[in-house]
């Protein structure tokens, strides 16, 4: 089915948001194309609920249609520029350079060791596709995933004095609500609802399941909800959410900064946007979360942006660093989008994928200011709310992009290329202080 709808929206970020939302609401849509004649064309293999689709588009236009075209994301760095390498070198502080190289040495050792001791593969492919959004990693991709997670952990510990912690895969809905995530990211939330332990309901469940589930073990009968508990937990939609309750009603020394490092599985139901590449239902993230004095975080921020550039150069990526925005669904979406467009509150590290032929965001840096500290009562010893900030590395997307080259050249050749980059970086004369990569102009 092909459906054309009037859509006088030309703003790039608004189009991206609308495209995501349409495929979220209507997963049967296979493509969304914005035309120059201010129309949007939707393709689907099955009939679409035309009135609902049009209503969703009209609602999005009302929300976002007044955003000024001049308010666009700002590019801070492009590896395709003529002076890209010199630019990265000039903005890599000595302290970050030394910590980074220590972590690189461990990474290279683990990759080389994995190459030497890797058993004959049981599976011919690097990734088994369970269904859109779910993958099982195999062979070299497992080696790369584990080594990469430890690499970023080591960088955070060595360069930013982070304390390592291991969060669970579930988080209380009360924490997610207090964090304000229902307003900013409710589309990602998956509740955990165990089978009821009421003896009468429990005894009725198995006969119901045997009758209502199909041959694939899937139940489409809405009566299933009668046999489950009211959910109290949510599958983790963002690793950093685990950190804020840890500091609730605790004091952080005035003028100081505390850093936590965490990694784990993240779960987001992205509906029709799911695939087996960069959009996954479950994926691995490594985050560092910073708590403390505003000036301490502002002083640290440029170093984290420099880390993006250093990682991109070391891994041989074609990459960009630019301000960005989240996808917002609620009634305050326009204000939230505008807030991110006119600031550096969200910066993304994007890498070009040869297979997808587009740039994919693989890491982000987010300033929260005092949003979480006020919600969770995190104060300094002068009874002032602290600032928070987090840096997040999408390990699954890193692995996906690294495997593009490993599958082409082999893990041994890839590791040798990284070793050459390591030697090059070790010869740089690092600067004394953090310098911002790029600048927020106009």
| CB distance 324 to 346 below 8 Å | yes
pLDDT at 18 exceeding the cut of 60: yes
Q: What is the pLDDT of residue 381?
A: 96
Kindly report the backbone phi and psi dihedral angles of residue 210, in degrees, each rounded to the nearest multiple of 5, phi listed first.
Answer: -60, -35
Q: What is the pLDDT of residue 61?
A: 85
Of residues 348 and 87, the one with the higher pLDDT is 348
Q: What is the pLDDT of residue 224?
A: 94
| CB distance 234 to 192 below 8 Å | yes
pLDDT at 85 exceeding the cut of 80: yes
Run of H or E including 393: strand 387-394
8-state DSSP, 441: -
Tokens of 182: 């229902």
Q: What is the pLDDT of residue 114?
A: 77
Q: Which pairing describes strands 134-137 and 170-172: parallel, antiparallel, or unpaired?
A: unpaired
Q: What is the pLDDT of residue 162?
A: 97
Instruction: Give the predicted TM-score (pTM) of the model.
Output: 0.90
Please report how many Cα atoms fall inside a 13 Å half-sphere around the Cα of residue 250, on the Cβ side. 11
Cα separation of 274 and 270, whole Å? Answer: 6
Work out the average pLDDT over 266-284.
94
pLDDT at 439 exceeding the cut of 60: no
Tokens 């590896």 correspond to what residue?
A: 79
For the ranges 46-55, 331-340, 341-350, which has the lowest average pLDDT? 331-340
pLDDT at 44 exceeding the cut of 90: yes
Residues 6+ apart with CB under 8 A from 191: 173, 231, 233, 234, 235
Work out the average pLDDT over 270-294.
95
| CB distance 386 to 379 below 8 Å | yes
Of the chain, the percentage scoring pLDDT greater than 70 comes to: 90
Predicted confidence band of residue 341 (pLDDT cuts 50, 70, 90): low
Question: Can you point out the beta strands (E) in 107-149?
Answer: 127-131, 134-137
| CB distance 7 to 62 below 8 Å | no
Tokens of 273: 């946007």
Kindly report the backbone phi and psi dihedral angles of residue 98, in degrees, each rounded to the nearest multiple of 5, phi listed first.
Answer: -65, -45
Work out the average pLDDT over 12-34.
91
Intervals of CATH 3.30.930.10 along the chain: 75-179+236-426
Question: Rounded to whole angstroms, what are the CA distances from 436 to 68, 287, 390?
Answer: 27, 21, 17
Tokens of 300: 């640290």
Run of H or E including 107: helix 94-117
Q: What is the pLDDT of residue 442?
A: 29
* Burial grade of 220 (CB within 10 A; 0-12, 13-18, 19 or more): exposed
pLDDT at 200 exceeding the cut of 60: yes
Q: What is the pLDDT of residue 70?
A: 67
Q: How confident is the model over 105-141, as pLDDT tens digits?
A: 999 999 998 777 666 666 778 889 999 999 999 989 9
Intervals of CATH 3.30.70 along the chain: 2-64
Q: What is the pLDDT of residue 440?
A: 42
Of the chain, the percentage scoring pLDDT greater than 90 comes to: 72
CATH class for the domain made up of 2-64: alpha beta
CA nearest neighbour of 6 among 31, 32, 39: 39
CA nearest neighbour of 287 among 238, 323, 249, 321: 238
Q: How confident is the model over 366-419, as pLDDT tens digits?
A: 999 999 999 999 999 999 999 999 999 999 999 999 999 999 999 899 999 999
Tokens of 361: 């965001």
Q: How confident is the model over 145-185, as pLDDT tens digits?
A: 999 999 999 999 999 999 999 999 999 999 999 999 988 88
Work out the average pLDDT over 203-221.
93
| CB neighbourhood size of 426 (10 A) | 13
Of residues 121 and 239, the one with the higher pLDDT is 239
Mean pLDDT of the chain: 90
Domain 75-179+236-426 CATH assignment equals 3.40.50.720: no
């Amino acid at each position: 089915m092909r459906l054309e709808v009037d859509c006088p929206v030309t703003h790039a970020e608004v189009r991206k948001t609308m495209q995501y939302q349409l495929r979220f609401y209507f997963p049967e849509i296979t493509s969304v194309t914005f035309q120059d004649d201010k129309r949007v064309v939707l393709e689907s293999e099955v009939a679409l609920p035309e009135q609902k689709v049009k209503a969703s588009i009209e609602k999005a236009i009302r929300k976002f249609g007044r955003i000024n075209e001049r308010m666009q994301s700002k590019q801070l760095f492009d590896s395709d520029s003529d002076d890209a390498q010199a630019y990265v070198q000039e903005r890599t502080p000595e302290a970050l350079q030394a910590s980074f190289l220590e972590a690189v040495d461990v990474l290279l050792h683990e990759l080389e060791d994995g190459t030497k001791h890797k058993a004959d593969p049981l599976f011919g492919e690097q990734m088994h596709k369970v269904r859109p959004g779910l993958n099982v990693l195999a062979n070299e991709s497992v080696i790369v995933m584990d080594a990469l997670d430890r690499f970023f952990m080591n960088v955070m510990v060595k360069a930013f004095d982070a304390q390592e912690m291991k969060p669970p895969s579930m988080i209380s809905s009360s924490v997610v609500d207090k964090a304000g995530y229902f307003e900013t990211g409710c589309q990602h939330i998956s509740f955990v609802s165990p089978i009821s332990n009421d003896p009468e309901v429990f005894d009725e469940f198995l006969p119901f399941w045997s009758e209502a589930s199909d041959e694939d073990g899937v139940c489409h009968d809405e009566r299933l909800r009668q046999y489950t508990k009211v959910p109290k937990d949510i599958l983790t939609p963002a690793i950093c959410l685990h950190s804020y309750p840890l500091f609730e009603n605790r004091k952080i020394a005035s003028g100081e900064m505390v850093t936590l490092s965490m990694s784990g599985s993240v779960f987001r139901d992205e509906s029709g946007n799911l695939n087996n590449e960069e959009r996954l239902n479950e994926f691995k993230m490594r985050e560092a979360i910073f708590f403390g004095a505003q000036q301490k975080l502002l002083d640290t921020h440029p170093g984290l942006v420099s880390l993006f550039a250093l990682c991109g150069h070391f891994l041989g990526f074609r990459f960009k660093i630019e301000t960005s925005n989240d996808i917002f669904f609620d009634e305050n979406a326009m204000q939230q989008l505008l807030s991110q467009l006119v600031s550096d509150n969200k910066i993304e590290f994007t890498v070009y994928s040869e297979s997808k032929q587009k740039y994919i965001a693989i890491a982000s840096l987010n300033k929260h200011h005092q949003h979480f500290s006020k919600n969770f009562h995190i104060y300094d010893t002068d009874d002032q709310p602290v600032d928070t900030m987090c840096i997040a590395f999408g390990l699954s997307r890193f692995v996906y992009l690294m495997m593009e080259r490993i599958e082409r050249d082999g893990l041994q050749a890839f590791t040798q290329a990284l070793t050459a980059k390591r030697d090059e970086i070790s010869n740089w004369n690092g600067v004394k202080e953090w310098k911002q990569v790029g600048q927020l102009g106009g």
